[in-house]
Structure 1
Amino acid sequence: MKRIAAAEALGTTLLVSAVIGSGIMAERLSGGNMGLALLANSAATGAMLYALITLLGPISGAHLNPVVSLLLAPRAEWAPRIAAQCSGGLLGTALSHLMFQQSLLQVGATTRTGPAQWLAEAIATFGLLLTIRLGARFRPAALPALVAAWIVAAYWFTASTSFANPAVTLARALTNSFAGIRPLDVPAFILAQSAGALAGYHMAGWLLAAPSSPSLQPQESPTS
């Protein structure tokens, strides 16, 4: 369990560093072009997710996300995994601030609230759990790429830019940067993420329980 917790803490630290660090860098270099900043932020996050899931997946499953652990890990592992993910996220925020010579202690100021934002978070996390469960069944070797692809896509098609992770949401409440969120908005985000994760998990289970579809391969004609 120690190695699993260490892998989860390390992975979440690096993931949050990628999210916040790339946000700070993009904000500095984009000259106020928010589209360019979001492009850089999403690309860095997707690339980091692919690397982390590939490298840490064999050790801990690379959940890096409390709702993923609650739905996929044994109950005895919930507390150490979630503690590792949340502490790793906070460390990732602090490291990002130090790398860019910013104040270590900050409070997010970006307003992210309202039904549209909550729906966006529910959809982002719904798709994440659906991707994980179906990908693990049908394309396990491609799972790192599938998860990274979903998150990058959700950066662009959801109104919330796809946090989809309670530990990352808590970490982003402690940065007053492009990637930040007001602490006041965090509880509703986490509720929406939890609801979306449950829906995605059960939808995937329902789809996986369905009978196999007929083969699309052409049938050979019977010989006479």
Structure 2
Amino acid sequence: MTVSLGRRVTAEAVGTAALVAVVVGSGIQAAELTRDTGVQLLANSLATVFGLGVLIVLFGPVSGAHFNPVVSLAAWAVGRRGPDGLPLRDVAAYSVAQTFGAIIGAVLANVMFGRPWVTWSTHDRFAGHLWLGEVVATAGLILLIFGLLRSGRDHLAPFAVASFIGAAYWFTSSTSFANPAVTIGRAFSDTFAGIAPGSVVPFAAAQLVGTAAGLALVAVVFGRAAAAVALPHDELGPAVPAER
């Protein structure tokens, strides 16, 4: 039984909202509990790892648990020659839902902690080394997701993707946003996890570059054979998850 586009889009919106609520909310909580930025980052990254893993398990059978426009775009790119690829219409619908969900998630986190609904972030992240970090993080994410699909190990995705994101919090200079929708959402909260609106576009551009690099690596390492399905065909179908 094919899952309808409406249900898949709803899953993407709700899942992305929950993911950003976890990222922003845990950032607020950490900043309120300690002034040690290392401890704040540790708390933020651990909450994101656990939250992302759960969300992929929950929503994967419905929408593929992308939660990320570049993952949806990559799913179209690798499956466009086959009958099971994600159509561009669905990529557009997913991307709108993911972005809307990310904004709602940031607003929800703000309100839960007694803050104004929207407080534009003043956390400037406008620097070349941070953009490089986003290229690396996004390329690694795409390589991981579609490498698992190509090798028939997509059942490991909830744990592998969450683990990669947790590690990338620490080994990339940008703390691994790797997601244009989440980047936009985090601009709506002037908190530890926020990003200034003026830093959003360069981050998103770096993420697109990273997506292209990741797809190139998938082709080189795993070959150009058609990937596994990019969207579920039944309630127990495989997932194509993504990062925060």
8 Å Cα contact 2:106-2:188 kept in structure 1: yes
User: How far did 1:74 drift?
Assistant: 2.1
Number of the residue aligned with 2:242: none
Q: Distance in 2 between matches of 1:67 and 1:141?
A: 21
2:209 matches 1:198: no
Number of the residue aligned with 1:119: 132
The 1:203–1:99 alpha-carbon spacing in structure 2 relative to 1, beyond 3 Å, is same
Structure 1 residue ranges, 4+ long, deviating more than 6 angstroms after superposition: none
User: How far did 1:79 drift?
Assistant: 1.5
Number of the residue aligned with 2:168: 154
2:78 matches 1:65: no
Number of the residue aligned with 1:95: 108
Report the secondary structure of 1:43's partner residue: helix
Number of the residue aligned with 1:21: 25
User: How far did 1:206 drift?
Assistant: 1.9
Please identify, of 186-195 and 75-84, the stretch whose mean Cα deviation from structure 2 is larger.
Answer: 75-84
Deviations 1:110-169 (A, max 9, x none): 110111000000000000000101122332111111100110000001111100000000
Number of the residue aligned with 1:77: 90
User: How far did 1:41 drift?
Assistant: 0.3
1:23 is aligned with what amino acid?
A: G
Deviations 1:76-122 (A, max 9, x none): 20121011000000100111011100011210101101110000000
Q: Distance in 2 between matches of 1:40 and 1:118?
A: 24
Number of the residue aligned with 2:47: 44
* Pair member with larger Rg: 1
TM-score, reference length from structure 1: 0.91
Report the secondary structure of 1:103's partner residue: coil
Aligned with 1:137 (options 141, 144, 150): 150
User: Sequence identity, in percent?
Assistant: 45
How many residue pairs match? The answer is: 210
User: How far did 1:209 drift?
Assistant: 1.3
Structure scoring higher RCO (CA < 8 A, sep ≥ 6) equals 2
User: How far did 1:210 drift?
Assistant: 8.1
2:86 matches 1:55: no
Q: Distance in 2 between matches of 1:101 and 1:15?
A: 19
8 Å Cα contact 2:145-2:154 kept in structure 1: no
Q: Distance in 2 between matches of 1:185 and 1:166?
A: 12
2:93 is aligned with what amino acid?
A: P
8 Å Cα contact 1:135-1:146 kept in structure 2: no
TM-score, reference length from structure 2: 0.84
2:15 matches 1:11: yes
Q: Distance in 1 between matches of 2:215 and 2:146?
A: 7
Q: Distance in 1 between matches of 2:72 and 2:180?
A: 11
8 Å Cα contact 1:66-1:81 kept in structure 2: yes
